[in-house]
Amino acid sequence: MEPVATLLARLAKGETSSEALVRAALARIEDRTGEGATTFTRVYAERALEEARRADAARRRGAPGGPLAGVPVSVKDLFDVAGEPTVAGSVILRDAPPAERDAEVVAGLRAAGAIVVGKTNMTEFAFSGLGLNPHYGTPRSPWDRATGRIPGGSSSGAAVSVTDGMAAVGLGTDTGGSVRIPAAFCGLVGFKPTARRVSRAGAFPLSTTLDSIGPLAPTVACCAAADAVLSDEPTHPVRVLPARGLRFAVPRRYVWSEVDADVGRALEGARARLARAVANRLDADGLWLLTSQLTRDQGRNLEDATAKVAAVIAQALVAPRPRRPTRATKASKERRMQAKRLKGSVKQQRGRVRGDD
């Protein structure tokens, strides 16, 4: 499916309709040769078509629409939708009490005019970055589908719903990579905002302190448009910066030491393209720095400083200095000695009592 801005422009010009977009999305979901059966756990076909027709009618009347008016979206299976249980990719919650209201983010998407076509599959309880689900199946990554590559997780269905044209934006959650991993695996953009930016009310938690809610979409601009709705903040235009003058630090040893050969070649190709677009490459100890803003002397100073830091770290790892006792450790040692003396005193008293008997 095309980027959000393109869809909105086509809708405004009358080149397509919300109903046409939703029908196309539903057709891809229902296609038995595709990934719809493992990508969605629930599909809201009738409601989505009804909402699409209302959006088209409002547009014909000239009524102002929301920032995502008529755009098909998907939501992860851990968001509440009124009237049904929230199962979070599991089977043990199928009989849970139905949600009384939509999650705040789902309600916000609807208020912005977005049309929710269904709930997407996920790793059970969001507890993995692979995207596997033994209960509802695992949607395959769009890359090398014949082999059956994993899509990444836990927002697996959210990613595949976008790559396969079943939604323009997929709503996911991210605790340790559950938006970013499937986005990377499936060739999309995934945005993880700060945890407090988007309300988590009505979302089944993995971590109440680390969970955040973010979109997966074809472009950065799509994610920005969705995030503005989710966070209830104004939309800001996305500026494309020139590559020349940017600086990139590429870890060399940590990432590359056990990397898969195919992944390594892809990373090396990307690094080489960045180097050509950005500027010179400087070999630092364990680090490649791509920059057009460092002079030769600055580069040598960086290499020297990095080598010194690496040497200090290596020395600390090989021969760590003995810890100096702190007041806390001294106090705890004294308490242990007092406890030992008290224990001995109690033992003596018990001996005397037994002797008197």
CATH at 154: 3.90.1300.10
Question: Could you tell me if residue 307 is inside a domain?
Answer: yes
Same domain, 32 and 109: yes
Same domain, 155 and 273: no
Q: What is the pLDDT of residue 276?
A: 81
Q: What is the pLDDT of residue 285?
A: 40
pTM: 0.77
Residue 154 bears catalytic tag: yes
Question: Could you tell me if residue 332 is inside a domain?
Answer: no
Question: Could you tell me if residue 353 is inside a domain?
Answer: no
Same domain, 135 and 262: no
Same domain, 192 and 313: no
The set of residues, in sequence order, having a beta carbon less than 8 Å from that of 73 and lying 6+ positions away, is: 109, 114, 115, 116, 117, 167, 168, 169, 170, 171, 226
Q: Which amino acid, one-letter code, is at 357?
A: D
Same domain, 24 and 97: yes
Residue 330 bears catalytic tag: no
Same domain, 253 and 224: no
Last residue of one domain, picked from the residues 231, 256, 276: 231
Same domain, 91 and 163: yes
Q: What is the pLDDT of residue 342?
A: 55
Same domain, 145 and 280: no
Rounded distance between C-alpha atoms, residue 188 and residue 179, angstroms: 10
Question: Domains in the chain: how many in total?
Answer: 2
The one catalytic residue in 74, 76, 90, 156 is 76
Rounded to 5 degrees, what angle do the CA atoms 123, 125, 127 make? 65
Question: Could you tell me if residue 341 is inside a domain?
Answer: no
Residue 192 bears catalytic tag: no
Same domain, 202 and 280: no
Contact 130, 102 (CB under 8 A): no
Same domain, 140 and 252: no
The one catalytic residue in 178, 192, 212, 231 is 178
Q: Could you identify the residue written with the tokens 């323009």?
A: 168
Question: Could you tell me if residue 343 is inside a domain?
Answer: no
Residue 275 sits at φ, ψ, to 5 deg, of: -60, -40
Please give the residue range of the domain that contains residue 263.
248-318
Last residue of one domain, picked from the residues 198, 231, 264: 231
Question: Could you tell me if residue 72 is inside a domain?
Answer: yes
Question: Could you tell me if residue 237 is inside a domain?
Answer: no
The one catalytic residue in 18, 90, 128, 154 is 154
Rounded distance between C-alpha atoms, residue 331 and residue 107, angstroms: 56
Question: Could you tell me if residue 200 is inside a domain?
Answer: yes
Same domain, 100 and 49: yes
Give the pLDDT of the chain (357 residues) as one tens digit per residue.
999 999 999 999 999 999 999 999 999 999 999 999 999 999 999 999 999 999 999 999 999 899 999 999 999 999 999 999 999 999 999 999 999 999 999 999 999 999 999 999 999 999 999 999 999 999 999 999 999 999 999 999 999 999 999 999 999 999 999 999 999 999 999 999 999 999 999 999 999 999 999 999 999 999 999 999 999 998 888 888 777 777 777 776 666 778 888 888 988 888 888 888 775 444 444 444 444 444 445 545 555 655 655 565 555 555 554 555 555 455 556 656 665 655 555 455 445 444 544
Same domain, 204 and 151: yes
Please count the CA atoms within 13 angstroms of the CA of 350 that sit on its side-chain side: 6
